[in-house]
Structure 1
Amino acid sequence: MNLGGPGMRIFSLLLAIWLALPALAGPEIWRHEWPDTDFDKTSVAHWGEILSGGPPKDGIPALSDPAFVSAATAEDLEGREPVITVALPGEVARAYPLRYLMWHEIVNDQIGTVPVAVTFCPLCNSGLTFDRRSPAGELEFGVTGKLRNSDMVMYDRQTQSWWQQAQGLAIVGRLTGTELQTLPSWMESWDQFRARAPQGLVMAEPAFRRAYGRNPYVNYDSARRPFLYDGEAPPHGIPALARVVRVGARAWPLTRLAAAGALEEAGLRFEWREGQASALDTARIGDGREVGSIRVRDGQGRDIAHDVMFAFAFHAFWPQGEWMLGAE
């Protein structure tokens, strides 16, 4: 959706319509599409928290077992466009371009012996990688087409349980309460990935008819309000769509980390580098404004699982979370 000009007016109209319809949400209207989901088990306080984002179940097609090409020979990507990097110990680093995740949101993959789900929710800018192993066995994930606090609700094909992407937590169905292990991964530019990992692999273009490389959410991260979100605004005057770096239940404003360049705090080391474009700014992803890349490590130099998400989403899912604003 183009959220500039007429697109913003359409966005506002859709928002008004959907905020007027929460009473229609609930299992009674979902069971025909989800006959195998156990709606009697849930951690969601009110069904009205879950709204349709528009597409039906699998209307946004998740990918499984993607093909890869050598980073040294890949030619389709622009230098500043973002990728999600997954570099598991002992394995060749892999890059998952946001130009593909923008349209598919989930990639089910296998890296060595570890089954992973690389996920990206454009409406929250949340990019997380999960271990797909669970108490119910190895899971494969798809997209429900539903949103909660504007964040993607995933589902697993084995139990048809629903999962909150930002938390890696099952919120509806048989596996309610189960939490996936989040694996260290980070967003960086394509140029940064191939310079650091010239022997790495990059996901090849999927065999779908999509406008890969284009951003369907033009000017979204400059909007005043998130799509289909009626929750509280973040505290401390932080704009709803400002980026924050979340580690656990703490959030560091990206602007603070960018100004510092490098910061050591709470047992963590943050390093910011320029060179990455916002994927949610201009129509062409590679032309987006500068947001930079963040790497988070512990005191032993090990990569730490984290997320670069919008401030409203952090506040929605971690309302008691700690805002790391630095000295007043």
Structure 2
Amino acid sequence: MRYAIWITLVSVMAAHAAPGGAQCTLTQPFLASAWPATDFTQCSVDLADVISGGPRRDGIPSIDHPMFASVASSQLGADEPVISLVIDQVARAYPLRILIWHEIVNDRVAGIPVAVTYCPLCNAALVFDRRVAGKTLEFGTTGLLRHSDMIMYDRGGDSWWQQYTGQAIAGAMTGQSLTLVANRLEPFADFAVRHPQGQVLIPNDPNARRYGANPYQGYDQSSRPFLYQGPLPAGVPPMQRVAVAGRTAVAWPDLQRAGVVERDGYRFEWQPGMRSALDTADLRAGRAVGSVQVTRARVLVPHHVTFAFVWHAFNAEEGSD
């Protein structure tokens, strides 16, 4: 796994506390020197929960000038997972074979600035509108983790943002939230059938990474999550997939058995076929885990698939579903 072995806890002291007791003043020298423009007197979480994942700031490079090819020219496998996004009839697919190495794509679709994000340790594929508080932000990777979820930062302001929640957790933008944009995590073949004229993200430099290789081999079949220090859900395998819409979660085995689950006004529909990007060394050979789409009143709504430990970590008050 490319998240390295170096795990450095962020030390904090009680000189300044945010509402709810979150400790905000850093004493860890490497973070203070690496993030001189971040206002750590403002935070919404305990920074003691933040650890280094290994890579330095932008060590996992975001894609800021994305390039695309046609569906017809794509060499992707039919069951390969892609994040598909449609805005005003502009359809784009972002293959996980690329996102697993870059984690963030700063793009503009039909004039809308978006951040297409994927955290491999959480298996969370989320798309955000990059406009917030009257600004259009561009995001990079910090190389830091909280609850095994990547922390992004906005360039120009250096506030930290939790990828899983879309919330600014430290810096001048603390308290601001990004707006989720509805998307699908689905097999490439499904996207191609619905959008034969669609566009597919391609690497700016095909030789920059081992695209198609999985640097997290066997991760989603491991007994416990990597670089996670919090409590695990009781009675549920921590690496079990769950489908999430809003504050509603449905366990993957329930979806596989039923095919359709209706809960809290949402309709969760599972389809077989899509391969896991976090299984075998060759991403195309990963085991079939299937995909889900979530609608409300027949309209696609923001949703994602993550692991049970992630849902538990960020929704501790509700427990596992």
Q: Report the TM-score, using the length of structure 2 for normalisation.
A: 0.91
8 Å Cα contact 1:162/1:170 also seen in 2:
yes
User: Do the aligned residues in 2 keep the contact of 1:41 with 1:174 (CA within 8 Å)?
Assistant: yes
1:31 paired with 2:41, answer: no
Q: 1:202 and 2:200 equivalent?
A: yes
Aligned equivalents of 1:27 and 1:243: distance in 2?
37
- Asked if structure 1 preserves the Cα contact closer than 8 Å seen for 2:266 and 2:295, the reply is yes
Asked if the contact 2:66/2:107 (under 8 Å) is kept, the reply is: yes
Q: Does 1:53 align with 2:44?
A: no
Q: CA deviation at 1:159?
A: 1.0
Please point out which of 16, 22, 25 is paired with 2:9.
Answer: 22
Distance 1:101 1:195 in 2: 22
Aligned partners of 1:37 and 1:141: how far apart in 2?
14
Instruction: Kindly report structure 1 stretches of 4+ aligned residues shifted beyond 6 Å.
Output: none
Offset from partner CA, 1:156-207 (integer Å, 9 cap, x none)? 0021000000000000000001110001011001111112211111111232
Q: Show the 5 A alignment for 1:1-328.
A: 1=1, 14=5, 18=7, 22=9, 24=11, 26-29=26-29, 30-45=31-46, 47-75=47-75, 77-88=76-87, 90-207=88-205, 209-235=208-234, 237-299=235-297, 301-321=298-318, 323-324=320-321
1:142 is paired with a residue whose SS is strand
CA distance in structure 1 between the partners assigned to 2:213 and 2:199 by the alignment: 22
Work out the CA distance in 2 between the residues paired with 1:288 and 1:117: 26
Structure 1 unaligned segments of length 5 or more: list them.
4-10
Q: Per-residue displacement from partner, 1:137-163 (whole Å, max 9, x unpaired)? A: 000000000000100000000210000
Q: Indicate the SS of the match to 1:228.
A: coil
The residue identity in structure 2 corresponding to 1:62 is S
Change (3 A) 1:2 1:116: closer
Give the distance between the partners of 2:261 and 2:122, measured in 1 at CA.
24
- Percent same amino acid at aligned positions? 46
- Counterpart CA distance in 2 for 1:2 and 1:54 is 8
Q: CA RMSD in A?
A: 1.7
- TM-superposed CA distance for 1:112, in Å, is 1.1
Per chain length, whose mean CA-contact separation is higher, i.e. which structure has more relative contact order (CA < 8 Å, sep 6+)? 1
Report the Cα distance in structure 2 between the residues aligned to 1:2 and 1:129, rounded to whole angstroms.
Answer: 23
So what's the TM-score if we normalise by structure 1? 0.89
Give the distance between the partners of 1:2 and 1:108, measured in 2 at CA.
22
Contact map agreement 1:85 1:185 (CA 8 A) in 2: yes
Q: Is the 8 A contact 1:249 1:321 kept in 2?
A: no
* Structure 2 unaligned blocks of 5 or more: 13-25
Letter in 1 for 2:317: Q
Cα distance in 1 for partners of 2:10, 2:274 equals: 41
1:251–1:321 Cα contact (<8 Å) kept? no
Amino acid at match of 1:302: V
Contact 1:65–1:110 (8 Å) recurs in 2: no
Query: How far off is 1:263 after superposition?
Result: 2.2
Which structure: greater strand fraction?
2
